[in-house]
Amino acid sequence: MSAFFLLDGEAIPFEEGDSVLAAARRAGHYIPHLCWDARFPPHGSCKLCVVEIGGRHVSACATPAREGLEVKNNIGEIRDTRRELLIMLFAEGNHFCPGCEKSGNCQLQALAYDLEAMTPQHNYFYPDRPVDASHPDLLLDFNRCIFCELCVRASRDIDGKEIFSLSERGVNKRLVVNSESGRLGDTTMDIGDLAANICPVGVILHKRIGFAVPIGERIYDGEPISELDIAAATC
Ligand code: FES
């Protein structure tokens, strides 16, 4: 017999080991996420997957599905919280979408459209971290990092290389390259590595293909990220 929890009043079946996010997604219900990826254990850093359970806000990616849970997902208060989190992510980095090569393929931008987070409400940090163009095939723009650590986890757990780490805390937190020089060109990073292809924003860019796919014809230009994510989960 299947076990169920309630998501906005609808019964969602789950399997042993499922998180609320994974079970909801498999059942065709979108919960926004930036740092979650099914290939890794939950990271719990972006908080975009916030839901309400028993009057508390928790991360759906890190909350095990349990019989009898009553989860609120698509309600105004939760959408407002997610929108505020997104706006703060935009304020922390240099996300100048119209001039960014990742525009249209960027999950942060796509979520902002989906959640209608259009209006700047905070002073921007305008970080000024040097870009790293030392690698023959890849460019790093650290000023767009949202600290999801997907590249860190992909390089360590899948590629077996540990190319990236996060350094320091708070406003000084930054993504760093684990080589003596601190430059990507002095590592064994390959353009085919998962870490080179997993960034949800515009930190890790491939050289020589800039704007090869025109703006307007990119992944999220045609359909909202919520629909594409559920299509990927349920196909
Ligand atoms: Fe759950 Fe980022 S997706 S905290």
Contacts of 26 (CB under 8 A, 6+ apart): 18, 233, 234
Q: pLDDT value at position 217?
A: 95
The mean pLDDT value of the chain amounts to 95
Residue 59 DSSP symbol: E
Question: How far, in Å, from the CA of 186 to the mean position of ligand 1?
Answer: 32
Same domain? 50 vs 121:
no
Report yes or no on 227 lying in a domain. no
Q: Cα torsion at 81, 84, 86, 91 (round to 10°)?
A: -160
Question: How far, in Å, from the CA of 137 to the mean position of ligand 1?
Answer: 30
Using 50, 70 and 90 to split pLDDT, how confident is the model at 172? Answer: confident
User: Tell me: the pLDDT tens digits for 113-149?
Assistant: 999 987 777 888 899 999 999 999 999 999 999 999 9
Number of domains in the chain: 2
Domain extent at residue 46: 3-74
Please give the Cα distance from 214 to 203 (Å, whole number). 19
Question: Which residue among 19, 31, 34 has the greatest number of ligand 1 atoms within 8 angstroms of its CB, and so is best to mutate?
Answer: 34
Return the CATH number at 125. 3.30.70.20
> How wide is the angle at C-alpha 220 spanned by C-alphas 217 and 222, nearest 5°?
60
Return the CATH number at 64. 3.10.20.740
Same domain? 194 vs 153:
yes
Same domain? 51 vs 134:
no
Ligand 1 binding residues, C-beta < 6 A: 33-36, 44-49, 59, 61
Name the pairing type of β-strands 3-7 and 70-72.
parallel
Report yes or no on 147 lying in a domain. yes
Burial level of 11, CB count in 10 A (0-12/13-18/19+)? exposed
User: Tell me: the pLDDT tens digits for 35-85?
Assistant: 999 999 999 999 999 999 999 999 999 999 999 999 999 999 999 999 999
Question: How far, in Å, from the CA of 172 to the mean position of ligand 1?
Answer: 21
Same domain? 145 vs 181:
yes
Same domain? 139 vs 167:
yes
